[in-house]
Structure 1
Amino acid sequence: MRHTPHFVMTDVDAVKRVVSEHPWATIVSHTAAGIVASHYPVLLEERGAEDDPDAIVLVSHVGRPDEVAHELGQHEVLVVFQGPHGYVSPAWYPPEQFVPTWNHVTAHLWGTPEVLSDDENFRVLGELVDHFERAMPEPVSLDVDEDTARRIAKGTVGIRIRVTRFDARAKLSQNKAPEVVERIIAGLRGDGPYASPALADEVERAHTARVDGREAR
């Protein structure tokens, strides 16, 4: 990630929020065959979180034979989470500021995957389904037909990643004057070609935190 120290996110809870709100992640491995990248939903594992609130533990699964392609368990992997992002037009700046930019929220996390047992993998798969189904009016669970679900689960490999380090950025116009930030937020909330309400929320969060003298979460 580009070296931009003034946009660095160091707060663990802020990084966890990015993971939680944007679970579709990219898993990247440097293998003997070269660079391998795959895309899967990833959840924070909350079990035992009270023992170490600063720990970040991820759980997911890959479809076979991705576990072979990634050489899972043999080395560290990078997991990339991409939050809201979008173009920021200089139309929202004062006339003398005419260079556009791209605002974004991005988190890179590293750790060595632990390959789960079949039973743990099935539990994690169930938690993944339950997590996303809870927004549905009539949630569907793997319990509907556990035998069939377990047969299908054999085509997947569950993983747990205890994050050893992370590099996260929230580039959200923190280097702009407050009145310019307000115009950016208004532009992102508008109906123009670069409208992005989710990005507007992030810029507003960072702006409020800056005014309050704290890190955005």
Structure 2
Amino acid sequence: MYIPKHFKVTDFDEIRDFIQTNSFGTLVTTKQGTPIATHLPMGLNMQGDDYYITGHMAYANPQWKTFEVENENVLVMFQGPHAYVSSTWYKNENVPTWNYQAVHIYGTASIMSEQELEEDLRLLLQKYEHRRENAALWENLSPQTKKQIKGIVGFKIRVQEIQAADKISQNRNEEDYHNIVNKLFEEKDLNSEQMAQLMERKLKKDK
């Protein structure tokens, strides 16, 4: 991923938090040179001294078979808020742009054992269900429901390279930055509002 120096993120804790918040990502592999992509909830977990992206997909999805055949790097992409930024929002004439957050992770993939998959599902359900009444936690599921694990394939991707970008107008002066935030709020659409909120949080954090 091309990342101008103004927008490159290297703080691992920040990247880890970003993945935790924006964990519905895109897994890209290749089959005989042709890219294949699946959109999935995934997590970043530590095993021993290594970090892994973990997740699962339907057994009927043929993409998991590329893990065993191609034996090469795979790509996982996570995306955060994004929004169009008009050049009319700057004090001086310039060009429009697009603000966004993204993380790309490269690594090698392998298939989980059933025990590893069960543990990963346990963690996934804990993340999304723990605050809910009558939570659908793994330990609360019936044996019949748990048998559906046979219909999915768990995978883990050993993290080898991380590329992260935060392009949120941090190269603009303070006056332009504040104006961009205000104008994004005025757009009245979800993407623009989320970007405006992110830019506000970043501004408060940096003070």
TM exceeding 0.5:
yes
* Deviation for aligned residue 1:57: 2.4
1:14 corresponds in structure 2 to: 14
| 2:188 is the counterpart of 1:184 | no
Report which of the two has the higher share of strand: 2
* Deviation for aligned residue 1:97: 2.3
* Deviation for aligned residue 1:144: 3.0
1:80 to 77, 84, 100: 77
Amino acid at match of 1:125: L
Give the secondary-structure state (helix, strand or coil) at the position aligned to 1:173: coil
1:118 corresponds in structure 2 to: 114
Amino acid at match of 1:154: K
1:43 corresponds in structure 2 to: 43
Q: Aligned pair in 2 of structure 1 residues 39, 147: CA closer, same or farther (>3 Å)?
A: same
Q: Aligned pair in 2 of structure 1 residues 90, 193: CA closer, same or farther (>3 Å)?
A: farther
Matched-pair contact (CA < 8 Å) for 2:36–2:63: no
CA deviations 1:34-64 (Å, max 9, x no partner) are 211001101122565xxx5xx5422111111
Matched-pair contact (CA < 8 Å) for 1:113–1:160: yes
Q: Aligned pair in 2 of structure 1 residues 167, 26: CA closer, same or farther (>3 Å)?
A: same
CA deviations 1:87-116 (Å, max 9, x no partner) are 11234222x325221100000001112311
CA deviations 1:125-161 (Å, max 9, x no partner) are 1221221112434422233334223321111111122
Amino acid at match of 1:81: F
Q: How high is the sequence identity, in percent, across the aligned residues? A: 29
1:103 to 99, 107, 110: 99
| 2:27 is the counterpart of 1:31 | no
Report which of the two has the higher share of helix: 2
Q: Aligned pair in 2 of structure 1 residues 201, 8: CA closer, same or farther (>3 Å)?
A: same
CA deviations 1:59-84 (Å, max 9, x no partner) are 11111133555512432210000011
Give the secondary-structure state (helix, strand or coil) at the position aligned to 2:181: helix
Distance in 1 (alpha carbons) for counterparts of 2:191 and 2:74: 34
Distance in 1 (alpha carbons) for counterparts of 2:202 and 2:15: 14
2:86 to 85, 89, 107: 89
RMSD between aligned alpha carbons?
2.4
CA deviations 1:183-216 (Å, max 9, x no partner) are 111222335357633212332344456x55xxxx
Amino acid at match of 1:139: A
Amino acid at match of 1:196: S
Note the residue ranges of structure 2 that are not aligned, 5 or more in a row: none
Distance in 2 (alpha carbons) for counterparts of 1:33 and 1:39: 20
Note the residue ranges of structure 1 that are not aligned, 5 or more in a row: 213-217
TM-score calculated relative to the size of structure 2: 0.86
Distance in 2 (alpha carbons) for counterparts of 1:195 and 1:27: 23
Give the secondary-structure state (helix, strand or coil) at the position aligned to 2:141: helix
TM-score calculated relative to the size of structure 1: 0.83
| 2:60 is the counterpart of 1:65 | yes
